[in-house]
Structure 1
């Protein structure tokens, strides 16, 4: 190249010319070479695209439906094309070469004219009616860059530069847009009008800042102010329900700040979510679909005399069914769009602290644009409602109550108290009673005062309020096989509203020192018996329908419920009453925390059914009850037990005294204890002689334990002498007066050491725990009988 050649030449010339030198000469040569090369190099191209076509909207993509203010994605519905069928219009800017020669580059960039759909402006229904909900544009983003802002002085997209907005109403865009007609280059009637759709037209939109490709657009749009009545009415009409069949007047005052149904939303699920969130019911009454607000004043108080009505005579007044508490949510999460943060996705939750570990969680996705505080309050409302509606009631009324309707709140007398409930189903018999299915309802659930948390802000932790624990402790028959491996005691705890659990502390030395027994975090139901449970006619492990007992729970927030036989046989709904472990099938509330228990499965786990008294400890045996194992050394000893709540001074808690009961042997230990096994002992001489002797009684008392059922003996002889015989008999009756031959050994080889062995059975009584031995022959021969073991 000229540059390299002239650099070398310049260097050589510089070294020959006085005063210039090699370096300066090389620099001059390089500059001259660059000027020559620049004049000969071709220009480069930067950013040029080979394919200038663009894929826009897809067939079948849903169009957002917006009420109020919401953020939506934009569907590119149309892109203009040039004469060659290209969507991206090419622009070029030339940059000159260095030194003013022909070298340099051409930079390419592209623009596009497009139409973006943001939602429906006119809503058409199956009966060919419609409602206009024109949309206005609040903010428009291209990727994350704001292109238009309502009220901004200088938006990037400006109407005076060709940016066009259609609100989707008849006046705003039924006919094709003039820009689209001009760009299509065809008759107006052949250009798609995109009627009833809110949309924008962006002529010659520069893609230069977006990698020379059209960006992704999103927008915040809004309609006029709407109510829950407006939204539900529109959704019902979109399902084909005529306007004349809809009564949403009860929700006209409920303002909804923003709601959107995207391309994956359907009217039915949207209605269900809105009604649950705003605490309404949708009922069918007299041919109308009607909205009914929850939490209103009860429409009636049902007299006790009207309960249990039936064509065949009086029946059950009220049938109450309770949902299993373990199936209720302990945590509710709500996802929503935060209208205070440009409608970005947010999440708030509420927790039922005492039930968190044992309960399920529930998540609810809302298409609402609300504040964090509104979301937090709603999560609390949903959680509280789930727990307040745990009771289901079935009742039958006199025909004069047929004017009631589903959704109506009523008051019903149960056990001397008026219980508020909401009708969820109603049937009127052809001839006879009115049948109602209801759920328990608490109006306090519909009022929440919590504010939402901002995960991105610094929040000071709240001052912790000390909520003391209510607790009981006891030791006795283990409630499960797994607890039989060690001695120990049980603790059940609860507390008033706001209780956060506590730590179990116990002392084996009258309070001189305290040992941590672990955390207890879940509520238990406990109290005492107010009547005496009889054992008359009761059989262990059998349901007892002849006896019942009334118990009073200690905590105002504790509850127990009825259960089926199969649930009881599976281990649910058990309690300890006094020292008896039992299952309870029916728990009838009398009000004020008092329950009448009946249909009892008595004497489980071998516990005593007799001896009950008023004041017996009652504890519902659930996983909330904690067990603290202790060493065997503490069996029979008293220990002190207390439960200390978070932030509470342990010295302020009064301890209860528990006497540690011995543990129950495990099934394996009990089986082994009944097995007869051999035990070997150090050989013990029972009799040694050098001659014959008559029957001699040997008392084994003290040599083997009282549980021994047989002894193992051996006989030995010296290796000389004449023939000899040893006979052993045992006592075969408890009085020791009968004998049974157990062993006879004859040894007639004078040159062989004789040894024999035998297992001799023993009678059970102490007087018969002896054996009788006799030896004949073998005079002068040393003979020994010794004990080597026993069976027991």
Structure 2
């Protein structure tokens, strides 16, 4: 005798789920495929790695998800060339930077928008929509009237609009922060304005399925071998099942209308009507992989265990956004359903049982509980219903996402730009006047800005490349009184307010100070500090001061002057022509957070290439003596004599006497004076001009 079996296909752990309920709908859902002849469901890893392979599957996104997408178009790298000036006698080098334009396909269905964007794990675009690196960005959300992107259209001539699919275009993205290559990107995609139900996803994927049953998902990515495989994954996670509804199916997670059946015992043969499988047929633990919103949508794992024998672990990957508690609840519910599924009940009845299709819920007359129909079998004129107990909804579980190391979403802010000319900071003398540029932002997320400079008051501009790493910049609030440059100032203190709390200063011991650590521009003076005390609110108190470094002892700072910590990695230097001495240089910077370029000016006095003024002027007998200083060898490492640092040794001495002023040049650091001389000033003459003057007032008759 032939047997007809109507069944719902599924797994013991996940609960019955599937697209074929006997002859009710056939295999309609199986015909809706993502990739032909494959039944594999979606996996977590598919969303984490950006690809550019032809034929890569594009997921259908629901809710809010973080996905990598697929690069579908890109230009060649755009190369820019600049010059980096070597320090400590090193030659200048040519530095290349790169930008790129490319497009990334995000979703195979339309979306609402894009939130944050990560590049190599760090934020490229913050929650406020601010970009941390310069780029042009356009989003095409996937509307049916979507136009061709203008950049792609101009480059390709004939290009698709990708209607119905969402994609993002980056134009001229600067790659300096990413080793001059296109970084791996991931996107926070908002496909729907709110969470979606499992039933809603099923209805979108397969029009035969109705209802909005099942748990709510903050986000979901539908991909894999077939729609049926995706729905099976959703069923495992939610415990929902299919039941007939008219000519189609409805997803259910509650019994709905419960039919009462009577176990009539038809068939005339003994049948075992109840069975319980061994406990070791149930997994000892169930693990659920998911995307955790508290971990910036990175993969999380929650686990539920049961007591008793067994060692098998069942792991289910759900490419959905679930918080830790929801994922833990899913794991515990799956384990509870598996334990409940050990029980099987069989009911035999007349032909009226054919009206009860698989997926319906029934109560057995005279018995407690609600059962779900797993199979309907017709054999020898008898209808037999195979039943499984309906598990009650689980209690929400508590769980933790663990330690979260979220990418910093610091504001970029407006560019702060400082351009100064300082004495040479290397041991060797400079061969051209040098401009030092330091820049930062009002926000801690600032990275760099493009530079232009002009030597002709803006009539023409020269590209200066990009700024260096963000510098520590602030404003001087209180200046210590003058102190000798030859001693450590242990009494004075300088108070500075830095641009934001992300900037920090540190201490330096004697050895570090000797190596040049903690050197800062304070107004026009170069100062080193041994101790930096935080006062809160980005304010710092600097003590143990070394004043007037590298011949700047005459500069006098006032409250409101700029403070800049000079470090090799944060200073961008530009060598200027000798003709720039005595002229004003205009410097312009444009960063990601600047609505308009930021400009500053610096007058090039030549301090970077001129020798420092002589020191220790004194009169011995009738001769004026002094000690020269050199713009080379400031550290005086040999302890003997500073190198000359110029082509020849020459001094220009201006003497004021009873008969007026006379100027004398001499090649030695001494000069004979007349008894009537009243004052003298000495300048050392170097390759690029004379130093500032060292002055001495003479006492009449002291030379006698």
For the superposition of Structure 1 and Structure 2, which TM-score range results when normalised by the shorter chain? 0.3 to 0.5
Which is greater in Rg? 1
Kindly indicate whether structure 1 or structure 2 has the higher relative contact order, using CA contacts under 8 Å at least 6 residues apart.
Answer: 2
Q: Structure 2 length as normaliser, TM-score?
A: 0.47
More helix as a share of residues = 1
